[in-house]
Amino acid sequence: MSPASAISEFHTALGQFLNYRFALSEQDAERKLYLAVPNDTYSSFFAIRLVQNVIQTYGLKIITYNPDLEVIVKWIK
């Protein structure tokens, strides 16, 4: 995936996440929403400073997972 399309995919996912988080807060303010990210994507793309700044600014909670084993690798709050 090219860097430009990776950024575009991230912006799409971020927009959906923020909308879901807002809607969820209207229904159940105590529930927390996590963004699920493949472990290899988190290790590479999510290391970019822009992405790290977005995570910090919006207070994203992230779950990394191994898509081959279908297991959660890490919960990041």
Retrieve residue 59's tokens: 């207070």
The tens place of each residue's pLDDT in the chain, 77 residues long, gives 666 688 999 999 999 999 999 999 999 989 999 999 999 999 999 999 999 999 999 999 999 999 999 999 999 98
* pTM, two decimal places: 0.83
pLDDT of residue 9: 92
CATH code for the domain of 11: 3.40.1350.10
Q: How many domains does the chain have?
A: 1
- Pair 53, 47: CB distance under 8 Å: no
pLDDT of residue 66: 97
Phi, psi (5° rounding) for residue 38? -55, 140
Query: Domain limits at 57?
Result: 3-76
Neighbours of 42 (CB within 10 A): 20
